[in-house]
Amino acid sequence: MPDAGGSASMPILTGFPHILRNRKRWLLATCDVVAVLLANALAVALRFDFDWAAFGTRTYRILDLVLLDLLVTPIMFHMSGLYQGYWKYAGLDDLNRLVRAVAARTVVLIVVFYGLGFAGLSRAVLIIATVLLLLITGWVRLAPRFRFELFSSRRRAAGVRALIIGAGDTGESLLRELKKSPQMEYNPIGFIDDDPDKAGVKIHGVQVLGATGRLESLIKEYGVREVIIAIPGASTRTRQEIFEICRRSGARFKTVPTRGELQRGAARISQIRLVDMEDLLGRDVVNLDQQILRRGLSGKRVLVTGAAGSIGRELARQIAAYSPGELIVLDRNENNLFYLELELRDAHPLLNLSVVVADILDRTHMSDLFAEKLPHIVLHAAAYKHVPLMEHNPVEAIKNNVIATFYLAQIADRNRVERFIYISTDKAVHPTSVMGATKCLGERLIQSIGGNTTRFMAVRFGNVLGSDGSVIPTFRRQIAAGGPVTVTHPEATRFFMTIPEAVQLVLMAGAMGEGGEVFLLQMGEAVRIVDLARKMIELSGLQIDGDIRIVFTGLRPGEKLHEELKGDREEALPTTNEKILVLTGIEPVSERGWIQLRELESAASEGRGADAIAILRSLVPDYQPMTVADGSAVSTMGRNIIEFEAKRRLDAPAS
């Protein structure tokens, strides 16, 4: 009924007539009606060899069938969702629905037509009409797809010629995504796959051209400009080999997200990106016992200190995926903490998240926080980590890395925390820096505390790829600025692992620990920093010396030429996880050491830097500060010698 203003009321019909409100769907329904008429007319003509006189008295039966078909077919198609499809991207699912709808229509016609006693019509007419209807309606629905594919193939011909490595499910999905893209950037001219059964086969019209052994020749033969690896679980060695082939051939090397990124929901198959150092230096995806992690984290109140840092952020991301009872992220870096909160709330809307801006040196605040939140698990990632910077600020390193850790552990024990996991570093082994010495002492404190209710443990590992302020972001920034790329020494090496892998293993070690352990993560082989710099320049499509220079600056204060994973008196024993070892031979803090710890606290609190360092050296006998003679500084002549030697090494083939 019209309202007071004279406007019509909302239509009563809201079901089937909904399709009439969309012109494309209305056009499709009209085509179906025409298809029904055409299919039945042709079926009758074919059945009677186009002898119209042979119809005789069957004319009324034929009209009955057509009228019934005109009613039943649109209803069956609507019920099957055939008017809701987007036929530009029609596929097998859509064709299956069409076949089911036509079959259902035929069954209904047989039941109704013969159930009402309408005899006298040849059954062949119904069968022929069914086949013709399927063909005509299928053609109508696939026509937009054929048109799209035709124009897409023309656009693809103008795109960058690319090879896809991996003709499996991921490669097939990627090819479909590329074909669907309205702005076609790539022209996939073939697949590369090592499976001999796939050699020569075509996937969506694109042929498998051969195995990876032929990659270099195929790049030259087909003028390939980009190679896309579509194997999320590809090993690091495989990626390195393909990268070297592409480097020699002048083709750019891109990849789909790794299996780890896909599992974390951080990416989609269609997100092609340039290969980066994480792909070439990372290791295979860690296969962890998810049940152990879920039992250890689900429903628990978990506190992460240093949550605004690289490791802390990733800890928060991975813990959030295991449905903790509450996730408490703590840091004094307000800015990064703010962005972490936004990220976690977007990714996990139901997460019980507490964001705390605080300083771990504030004992009163920490005591109040623990008493209020009563965390079950503490992951202590807060620390000062930049070696040269801490050489100039030793008192702050001692207060933050040692004193705050000691009191935080005591507060955790008083509040009956179940597990306290301390994040350590390989710089704690034979330390030559204040930062390394403080982390070494932190390990010994954690092992020596032996809480009444709390299981204390530490996890030691080397550098993580892409952490804030680390070498890779520094190199990226220098390359973006046009160089030069600065490396401390041509022989300097470091151990690397990706941040997600390190965090996964930290969580697993924390779940495995019984208390008192210092775990060591398997880091693989050490990597020369100069090789890393060279690969990053090449990954950017630039030439060493021609586009970007590598300059050697000498070791900075506190830095080593080579890092180590374990000390002389330490032994690394295997655990149930092949990538996690447990260290023995770490000396606990002695009675005299506990007294010296109080003296260290007093010296640091009063700003007596020289006294604090002297006490630290007494507490950590392995601590040998690096001097100028040790290589912390390099003269101009020495630097020139280093550059000459490095240039010679860079000109030689990479090891």
Last residue of a domain, one of 90, 119, 150: 150
CATH number at residue 468: 3.40.50.720
End residue of a domain, out of 220, 245, 275: 275
- Structure token digits, residue 19: 């399709």
Residue 78 within a domain: yes
Hey, what are 478's tokens?
């220098």
Encoding tokens for residue 178?
């590329």
* Domain's final residue, options 150, 179, 196: 150
> How far is the C-alpha of 138 from the C-alpha of 146, rounded, in Å?
12
492 and 442 in one domain? yes
Q: What is the DSSP string of 560-578?
A: -SB--SS-TT-EEEE-SST
Backbone angles phi, psi at 225, to 5 degrees: -105, -25
Rounded distance, CA 619 to CA 600, Å? Answer: 9
Distances, alpha carbon 556 to alpha carbons 534, 627, 644, in Å:
21, 10, 20
At 3 the pLDDT is: 46
CA distance 222 to 228: 15
- Based on the fold, state whether residues 226 and 374 are members of the same structural domain: no
Two tokens, residue 16: 């089937």
Q: Are residues 588 and 454 in the same domain?
A: yes
- Examine the domain organization and report whether 251 and 310 are in the same domain: no
Q: Tell whether 423 is covered by a domain.
A: yes
pLDDT of residue 6: 44
* Cβ within 8 Å of residue 35, ≥6 positions away: 133, 136, 137, 140
- pLDDT at position 169 is 83
Regarding whether 171 and 241 lie in a shared domain, the answer is: yes
Of residues 254, 384, 260, the one with CA closest to residue 318: 260
Count of positions (residues) in the chain: 655
What residues contact 316, with CB distance under 8 A and at least 6 apart? Answer: 304, 307, 327, 329, 340, 344
pLDDT at 146: 67
Q: Nearest-CA neighbor of 31 among 123, 149, 142?
A: 142
Whether 1 is in a domain gets the answer: no
Q: How many domains does the chain have?
A: 3
Residue 511 counted as domain residue: yes
Residue 134, pLDDT score = 82
Show the tokens assigned to 464: 């993580």
Same domain for 238 and 306, yes or no, is no
479 within domain boundaries: yes
Enclosing H/E stretch for 56: none
Identify the pLDDT of residue 267. Answer: 46
- Residue range of the domain that includes 33: 16-150
Provide the β-strand partners of residue 363.
Answer: none
Judgement on whether residues 499 and 627 belong to the same structural domain of the protein: yes
Instruction: Assess if residue 654 is contained within a domain.
Output: no
The verdict on 145 and 173 lying in the same domain is: no
Alpha-carbon separation of residue 309 from 304, 332, 466 (angstroms) = 10, 10, 11
Whether 141 and 168 share a structural domain: no
Averaged pLDDT in 10-residue chunks for the chain of 655 residues: 43 44 70 82 75 56 74 81 63 75 83 66 76 82 66 59 86 78 72 87 86 89 87 77 85 74 52 69 64 91 96 96 96 95 95 97 97 97 94 96 96 95 96 96 91 90 82 87 91 90 93 93 90 85 84 92 92 92 92 95 95 95 70 39 46 45
Residues 368 and 492 in one domain: yes
Claim to verify: residue 240 and residue 363 sit in the same structural domain: no
Q: Is 561 found in the same domain as 461?
A: yes
Q: How far apart are CA 358 and CA 351, in angstroms?
A: 21
- Rounded Cα gap, residues 44 and 38, in angstroms: 10
pLDDT of the residue at 330:
98
- Residue 576 makes CB contacts below 8 A (sequence gap 6+) with 512
Q: How far apart are the C-alpha atoms of 71 and 320, rounded to whole Å?
A: 54
